[in-house]
Structure 1
Amino acid sequence: MVRLPLTSEEVERGERLGALLRRAKGARSMLEVALNAGVSPETLRKIETGRIATPAFPTIAALANVLGLSLDMVWAEINQLEGALR
């Protein structure tokens, strides 16, 4: 299956998601958060740095749960600039 290139909006959302996760993680280690969420530390690192701009929903849900974030809050945060443009 060929993966389509990401749009600039998808890349920006991925960067906002990564920034949100880094802020929510605080002083906790990447290893601790990743293992508690059931993802690899490498996957979490890639999401935090925007290299995985569109992670799977279960991955986002697991990370949000471990970090104490509601999915509504995550959605609002990563789409904040789009809403301002509409």
Structure 2
Amino acid sequence: MVRPPLTPEQLAAGKRLGAYLRQARGERKPTEVAHAAAISPETLRKIETGRMATPAFTTIAALAQVLDVPLDQLAHVCLTPMDLSKTA
């Protein structure tokens, strides 16, 4: 099964998510955060730079827990204003 290419909106959401997680990490070392979340430092680097635009839910849940960020906050970071208006 071939995965369809990501849309520009999905790529933009991945960049927003990565930037938010990078900011939430603050001064903590990437290796420390990656180890605590049970992911590789390279995976964390790819997420933070937007090169991995659609990481697995379990990866994001682990990062949210390690960084003490509510999952619903991460969802809002990824959603566009149009997406948010659909849920209201």
Q: Give the TM-score of the pair, scaled to structure 2.
A: 0.90
SS at 1:32 equivalent: helix
SS at 1:24 equivalent: helix
Residues paired across the two proteins, number: 86
Which position in structure 2 is the counterpart of 1:71? 71
SS at 1:31 equivalent: helix
Runs of 4+ in structure 1 over 2 Å off: 80-86
Q: Which amino acid aligns with 1:60?
A: I
Q: Give the TM-score of the pair, scaled to structure 1.
A: 0.92
The Cα offsets for residues 28-53 of structure 1, whole Å up to 9 and x where unpaired, read as 00000000000000000000011100
Which position in structure 1 is the counterpart of 2:15? 15
Which position in structure 2 is the counterpart of 1:60? 60
Deviation at 1:83, TM superposition (A): 4.3
- Percent identity, aligned pairs only? 56
- CA-based RMSD of the aligned residues comes to 1.6
Deviation at 1:85, TM superposition (A): 7.6
Deviation at 1:80, TM superposition (A): 4.3
Cα distance in structure 2, aligned partners of 1:57 and 1:20: 16
Structure 1 residue runs without a partner (length 5+): none
Cα distance in structure 1, aligned partners of 2:26 and 2:12: 22
Cα distance in structure 1, aligned partners of 2:56 and 2:74: 14
Deviation at 1:81, TM superposition (A): 4.0
- Stretch moving more, 76-85 or 37-46: 76-85
Deviation at 1:79, TM superposition (A): 1.2
Q: Which amino acid aligns with 1:7?
A: T
Which position in structure 1 is the counterpart of 2:47? 47
Structure 2 residue runs without a partner (length 5+): none
